Amino acid sequence: MIQDILQQLHIGNVNRGVSTGINWLDAKGAVIDASSPVDGQHIATVKTASREDYDTVIATAQAAFREWRLWPAPRRGEVVRQIGEALRQNKEALGKLVSYEMGKSLQEGYGEVQEMIDICDFAVGLSRQLHGLTMHSERPGHRMYEQWHPLGITGIISAFNFPVAVWSWNAMLAWICGDVCVWKPSEKTPLSAIACQHIVQDVLKANKVPEGVCCLVTGGRDTGEWIAADTRVPLVSATGSTRMGKAVGSVVGARLGRSLLELGGNNAIIITADADLNMSLIGCVFGAVGTAGQRCTSTRRLIIHESVYETFTKKLAKAYQQLRIGNPLDEHNHVGPLIDKDAVNLYLDSIEKVKAQGGSFLVEGGVLSGDAYSSGCYVKPCIAAVENAYPIVQHETFAPILYVMKYSRIEEAIAMQNNVPQGLSSAIMTLNLREAELFLSQAGSDCGIANVNIGTSGAEIGGAFGGEKETGGGRESGSDAWRAYMRRQTNTINYSTHLPLAQGIKFDL
């Protein structure tokens, strides 16, 4: 089955991993071996970018920008509309490849492609709404307003956990804004990125989009470092760990470039005494085990009111016993593998730390073995009773380890929710209006996303996505996130017969 899908998506045994749009470069960098955590099989090899290849791509992108920025935004939107159509046609195949290469469940693989389609639709509408404000001038016969212009090259560094959607959140907006994109996908999921490039190519060709608008540079960490340090790339959008984001952010900051960072989360759900526990259960379990706990929005902590703690943790433990772990392409399974053995080791290491720091497991973890788990990447989602202050609880482990803790007063629960270095997503389960509103108020959650009676993951593309503190402060996707991809220009026009100076300054010759 996978062979058919690879063929449909133009993935061969050996793949070029560097493209300026329609053209593929004969890339001279290191070769990546792409394999699947589903069955441990080698899938294909990818030729990545050398420094010279990278420079060729950037030069082509720069030249393309000079032309692309002159296209009317709605015409660029039309290209994005057609990309959305191409994604619709390839949803099944691309969703399966994402599931196979990354390990997320097939449902989530399809969901990820749906997110791409949704952002295309959003960007098409936005291409007719890139608006600025007008202000009243203090001087007679003057008009003052602002307009938004494209920035240039947007560098996109994406992570393995959303191998294709995060690129599209950035690229579709950047394109309608008039920017060109250079994408460095995760070296753990290069094939999904190459498949996207193939999907987009026919649209680029049919619309005579300048070569260099849609670039792909697969590579390792050094490629990300080239982008971060490159003054030809005015905006770097990076998704990944806080450690990576600090490195990228400081290099981009040192050259006074712009960065848009979407980094680690340590997302909590507060389960109040007034929560609908059955509904809460779905949100908590999907949040904790979806994508095998490898979303930046995954639920890592449950802060549970003492009066419902016993009841709810029992329900949780029962639900965990029913989870089916296995091949994510089999739709009966809820949980697939972790991305690789390094991730498994981090998971095991965190479990040891939980124990050493005083935690106890309500549902035990462990690595699964046997034929169905031959890749060695399948682990059991587990639940540990902890204190919020444990160092391991303060840390984001990209694995299905759920921490539970008790509270007695809502203010205390909110303080626990906020008392971590990260600030991406948060939620409260309650039917009590006062508690819900307190959680959403300025005295409530300090995260970029705060939900009521919904889990922490699975945000819609229509809202601005991102978080505070160590999450990096960036906002992608919906609302007015498009402004990050543009530069603001303030214009004042004098249509009077005099030249009065602002602030009442007199300067007569």
Residues that bind ligand UN1 (CB under 6 A): 115, 161-162, 166, 239, 295-297, 457-459
> Judging by DSSP bridges, how do beta strands 134-135 and 142-150 pair with one another?
antiparallel
**Phi (first) and psi of residue 157, to 5 degrees:** -110, 115
Closest separation in Å from C-beta 53 to ligand UN1 = 27
Nearer to ligand UN1, 115 or 187 (CB): 115
Fill in the amino acid letter for 257. Answer: G
Residue nearer to ligand UN1 on the CB measure, 111 or 376 = 111
Catalytic residue among 108, 112, 211, 262: 262
List Cβ neighbours of 8 (8 Å cut-off, separation of 6 or more): 90, 93
Q: How far is the CB of 108 from ligand UN1 (least distance, A)?
A: 9
Q: Which of 132, 456, 496 is nearest to 301 (CA)?
A: 456
User: CA Rg, the chain, in Å?
Assistant: 24
By beta-carbon proximity to ligand UN1, the closer residue of 161 and 186 is 161
Task: List the one residue out of 193, 154, 186 whose CA is nearest residue 173.
Answer: 154
To which residue do tokens 């998506």 refer? Answer: 9
For 397-448, list the strands marked E by DSSP.
401-407, 422-423, 425-429
Strands (E), 327-469: 360-363, 382-385, 401-407, 422-423, 425-429, 449-452, 464-465, 468-469
Q: Compare residues 404 and 459 and give the one whose CB is closer to ligand UN1.
A: 459
Q: Is 262 a catalytic residue?
A: yes
In angstroms, give the least distance from the CB of 471 to ligand UN1: 10
Rank residues 376 and 458 by Cβ distance to ligand UN1 and give the closer one: 458
Minimum CB distance to ligand UN1, residue 185 (Å): 13
Q: Which residue is nearest to ligand UN1 (CB)?
A: 459
Would you call 92 helix, strand, or coil by DSSP?
Answer: helix
Task: Determine the straight-line distance between the first and last CA of the chain, rounded to whole angstroms.
Answer: 82
Least separation in angstroms between residue 295's CB and ligand UN1 is 4
Least distance from C-beta 166 to ligand UN1, angstroms? 6
- Cα(85)–Cα(92) distance, rounded to whole angstroms? 13
Residues with Cβ within 8 Å of 395's Cβ and at least 6 positions away in sequence, in order, are 266, 350
Return the closest-CA partner of residue 430 out of 291, 276, 288: 276
Helix (H) / strand (E) element for 204: namely helix 190-206
Between 57 and 459, name the residue whose CB sits nearer to ligand UN1. 459
Q: How far is the CB of 48 from ligand UN1 (least distance, A)?
A: 23
Q: Which is nearer to ligand UN1, 162 or 175 (CB)?
A: 162
400: left (phi over 0), alpha (psi -120 to 50) or beta: beta
- Both tokens of 447, joined, read 């995260």
Residues 6+ apart with CB under 8 A from 231: 255, 257
In 281-400, beta strands by DSSP E? 299-305, 360-363, 382-385
Distance in Å, CB of 335 to ligand UN1, minimum: 16
Rank residues 153 and 166 by Cβ distance to ligand UN1 and give the closer one.
166
Give the catalytic positions in this structure. 262
